[in-house]
Amino acid sequence: MPTSVRPSACPGLLRIVPALDGGICRVKLPGGVLRSAQARTIAEAAQRCASGVLELTNRSNLQIRGVLPGQESALIDALLAANLGPRVAAADDVRNLMLSPAVGLDPQARMDVRPLASQLLDLLQDTPALHVLSPKFALQLDGGEALAMREHPHDLWLAAEDDQHLLLGLAGCPTDAPLARIAAAQALELVRELLLLFLDLATPEQRRMRQLLAQIPASELLQRLQARLDFPLQPAPRHWQPSAALVRPPAGIYPQAQPDLCMVVAGAQLGRLQAEQLLALAELSEHYGDGELRLTPWQGLLLGNVPVNNAQALMTALSELGVINQTAEPLLGLVACTGSAACARGLADSKQHALHLAELLRTNGARPQVHLSACPRSCASARVQPYTLLACSPEHYQLYRRTTEATGFGQLLVPSMTIDEVGAWFADHLRAGQPDA
């Protein structure tokens, strides 16, 4: 496969971008699924060609950090040989479709969206006209699973109303009011025509759906879309209720739709794994589950099809491996970007500060959900967390709280504080064990 791809600051499998700690290679996983053999390939390639540090992203993908100079081609070849890349080079950027990690397994699901997801990924890869979409342009397909991230904004989202119908939304997420209703069998044509319409209408500066909607109202966009469709767009229900959102990132044992089986969910410490851990996880997935690792948008992983009688043994093995499988662990509620240790834009070492904050929270009992961002770009979290710490100097952060009234990170609570002061603030303002105020 030719490796020439368009310039972009976004890493891909075929486009390794530089950082302070070496190159970054992003592997996009269909539905977040990584088979055990592929996991071994990634881990071994990361040991040979990079630092051995792996990042789980907030869109259920995986990044290899610290790619060594001169090892880029060897790394790419190994990943392509394991069927981890696109069918054609130009399609790598646009394979942005997020599902629940529990798709097909979650007993709360309204629809098994896996067949449609496969069709949509084929559409994105096999339609050359769509290859010019921004690498950040993303779709979400929500089957109504309980284990789902519904607060990430997407350019286009579809949510199951029941097992036969989908609701459409634009420039938002399935917690928003939908714009239209369609039969599930019409979804592929809808997405195809909507994406082509977006490309017809958007200027070069309008790379995301929200930018186009700032110029063209959603009602007008739907009218133009209707003219391209062979079926009518139905009105959206007035009182749509999405499936309940999770209060806290998941960890532990969860029921599965299939009898006598369960799902086991764990979090990677601040979204990172060492290659040796991934090798061990591949082994565990084969021994206890179905040989798949499903990456989650909470920067963790899910092992499905685990016999109920084996779940506790798997939990013990995961704990020994150093991944987070208890919801009481404060690190589960912390998100941190790479920070100044690996990113030239970073003002503070957010990873190390997050580890220190976790130590303080273990002592004082508070369990907030906090995003530590070393710069305003907010790379580590696609959604606004209940609390954000934005670096304003190497040792100081601004503290924000998400509110419905304030845009961006929310309401500024404290203009400058050290991590020790942050820990004390949460101890004073949150009751022990309470996730958020």
Q: Is there a domain that residue 228 lies in?
A: yes
Tens of pLDDT, residue by residue over 19-76, are 999 999 999 999 999 999 999 999 999 999 999 999 999 999 999 999 999 999 999 9
Under DSSP, is residue 267 helix (H, G, I), strand (E, B) or coil? Answer: strand
Q: Is there a domain that residue 193 lies in?
A: yes
| 271 lies in the same domain as 201 | no
Q: Is there a domain that residue 71 lies in?
A: yes
Residue 392 is part of a domain; what is its CATH number? 3.30.413.10
CB atoms within 10 A of CB 43: 23
| Domain boundary residue, one of 26, 61, 93 | 93
| 339 lies in the same domain as 312 | no
Q: Is there a domain that residue 345 lies in?
A: yes
Looking only at the bridges linking them, the beta strands covering 334-336 and 370-373 are: parallel
| 345 lies in the same domain as 417 | yes
| 116 lies in the same domain as 230 | yes
| Tokens of residue 378, six digits | 């907010």
| 337 lies in the same domain as 421 | yes
Range of the domain at 337: 332-429
What share of the chain in percent tops pLDDT 90? 91
| Tokens of residue 323, six digits | 């991944």
Whole-angstrom distance, CA of residue 314 vs CA of residue 317: 5
What pLDDT was estimated at residue 53? 98
Decide if pLDDT at 422 tops 50.
Answer: yes
Whole-angstrom distance, CA of residue 10 vs CA of residue 8: 5
| 374 lies in the same domain as 348 | yes
Tens of pLDDT, residue by residue over 326-373, are 999 999 999 999 999 999 999 999 999 999 999 999 999 999 999 999
| 207 lies in the same domain as 117 | yes
Residue type, 402: R
Q: How many domains does the chain have?
A: 4
Find the mean pLDDT for residues 247-258: 96
Q: Is there a domain that residue 124 lies in?
A: yes
Under DSSP, is residue 146 helix (H, G, I), strand (E, B) or coil? Answer: coil
Complete DSSP assignment for 180-197: EEEEGGGHHHHHHHHHHH
Q: Is there a domain that residue 103 lies in?
A: no
Query: Which has more pLDDT, 118 or 436?
Result: 118
Tens of pLDDT, residue by residue over 86-103, are 999 999 999 999 999 999
Q: Is there a domain that residue 437 lies in?
A: no
Q: Is there a domain that residue 102 lies in?
A: no
| 129 lies in the same domain as 222 | yes
User: pTM above the 0.85 mark?
Assistant: yes
Find the mean pLDDT for residues 228-241: 94
**DSSP state letter for 107:** T
| Interacting residues of 87 by C-beta distance below 8 A, sequence separation 6+ | 125, 126
Decide if pLDDT at 432 tops 60.
Answer: no
